[in-house]
Amino acid sequence: MALANLLEHPVIGKETMSAGYAGRMDIKRSNKDLGRVLALSRLAVADDEDALSTWPAIWLKALKERFPYEWKELALQAGKGLRDLLASEPDLDQAWHTCAYGLLTSCQPTPAQLKISGQRLLQDAIEPLEKEAEQSA
């Protein structure tokens, strides 16, 4: 699910959620979905400190099987939307809101903690995936 959401949102789109989210009507769909990726990564690490290091191999296998001719391009774009999210305070705030009132409601991180989770996801999962794609080019 995390990889699907990353691939679905290589950029922060303008489309907002039609019904709003936990009292906010301005949440961008991409921010909600990328926030879900951050929530999943936090939950995975809470269960197993090294969990994210297993994701690149799993993602690579899935990409190669599902997209045998496009996998390199997809792997190289997987982190673009997340990088944009982490660089934009308003977008990260929306992602945080969806996490705090969604998947992470019982263990709400601060926005700073969520950003750190994103940086770790980039370092431990996305950058190794990108590196594999670059080396295969």
Distance in angstroms (rounded) separating the CA atoms of residues 110 and 105:
12
Over the chain, what is the mean pLDDT?
A: 93
pTM: 0.92
Specify the long-range contacts of residues 47-53, CB closer than 8 Å, at least 24 apart. 52/120, 52/121, 52/124, 52/125, 53/124, 53/125, 53/128
Structure tokens at 127: 């950058």
* Tens of pLDDT, residues 88-109: 999 999 999 999 888 887 888 9
For tokens 């769909």, what's the residue? 29
CB 85 within 8 A of CB 126: no
Separation in Å, CA 57 to CA 12, 23, 71, 124 = 26, 38, 13, 11
pLDDT, tens digit (0-9, with 9 covering 90-100), for 37-68: 999 999 999 989 999 999 999 999 999 999 99
Interval 18-29: pLDDT, tens = 766 666 678 999
Largest Cα separation within the chain, whole Å, is: 46
